[in-house]
Chains A and B, each alone.
Chain A
Amino acid sequence: MPMIEIKNVGKWYGDFNVLADCTTQVEKGEVIVVCGPSGSGKSTLIKCVNGLEPFQKGEILVNGTSVGAPGTNLSRLRSHVGMVFQHFELFPHMSITENLTIGQVKVLGRGKEEARDKGLKLLDRVGLKAHAHKFPGQLSGGQQQRVAIARALAMDPICMLFDEPTSALDPEMINEVLDVMVQLAKEGMTMMCVTHEMGFARKVANRVIFMDHGRIVEDADKDEFFGTPRSDRAQQFLAKILNH
Chain B
Amino acid sequence: MLDLNLDFAFLTPDVISGYIVKGFVFSLQLTLVAMLGGIVLGTLLALMRLSSKPWLVMPAAAYVNTMRSIPLVMVILWFFLLIPLLSGRPLGAEMSAMITFTLFEAAYYSEIMRAGIQSIPKGQVAAGYALGMTYGQTMREVVLPQAFRNMLPVLLTQTIILFQDTSLVYAIGAYDLLKGFEIAGKNFNRPVETYLVAAAIYFVICFSLSMLVKKLQVRIAIIR
Contacts and interface: CB of A to CB of B under 8 A. Distances in A.
A47 B132 CA distance: 14
Given A52-B126, A85-B126, A89-B123, A107 B149 contact: no
A155 B126 contact: no
Interface string B192-224: 000000000000000000000000000000011
Contacts of B70: none
Contact of B132 (A79, A89, A90): A79
Contact of A85 (B123, B133, B142): B123
B132 A107 contact: yes
A155 to B, nearest CB: 7
B130 interface: yes
B131 interface: yes
A11 interface: no
B134 interface: yes
B126 A78 contact: no
Contacts of B127: 83, 85, 89-91
A233 B121 CA distance: 34
Contact of A52 (B129, B137, B141, B224): B129
B145 interface: yes
B146 interface: yes
B124 interface: yes
A93 B132 contact: no
A103 B132 CA distance: 7
Given A106-B137, A107-B137, A137-B224, A91 B130 contact: no
A102 interface: yes
Interface in B101-140: 121, 123-124, 126-127, 129-134, 137
Given A92-B146, A93-B145, A93-B149, A103 B126 contact: no
Interface residues of B, number: 19
Given A85-B126, A91-B127, A103 B133 contact: yes
Contacts of B141: 91, 102, 106
A151 interface: yes
Given A85-B123, A87-B123, A102-B141, A93 B146 contact: yes
A52 B130 CA distance: 8
A91 B142 contact: yes
A75 B129 CA distance: 7
Interface residues of A, number: 29
A244 interface: no
B141 to A, nearest CB: 6
A89 B131 contact: no
Given A93-B149, A137-B224, A102 B126 contact: no
A242 to B, nearest CB: 30
A50 interface: yes
A76 interface: yes
Interface in A68-87: 74-83, 85, 87
Contact of A155 (B123, B132, B134, B137): B132
Q: Which of A74, A77, A80, A93 has the most CB of B within 10 A?
A: A93
Nearest to B149: A93
A152 B130 CA distance: 9
Interface string B29-65: 0000000000000000000000000000000000000
Contacts of A102: 131, 141
Interface string A87-119: 101111100000000110011100000000000
A93 B126 CA distance: 16
Interface in B127-177: 127, 129-134, 137, 141-142, 145-146, 149
A78 B123 contact: no
9 contacts: A52-B130, A75-B134, A77-B132, A81-B130, A89-B121, A89-B124, A89-B127, A91-B141, A102-B141
Given A52-B130, A78-B131, A92-B146, 6 more contacts: A76-B132, A85-B130, A91-B141, A93-B149, A155-B131, A155-B132
For the complex of A and B, the 7 pairs showing the least CB-CB separation, nearest first, are A79-B132, A89-B127, A103-B131, A83-B130, A107-B132, A89-B123, A78-B132
Interface of A: 47, 50, 52, 74-83, 85, 87, 89-93, 102-103, 106-108, 137, 151-152, 155
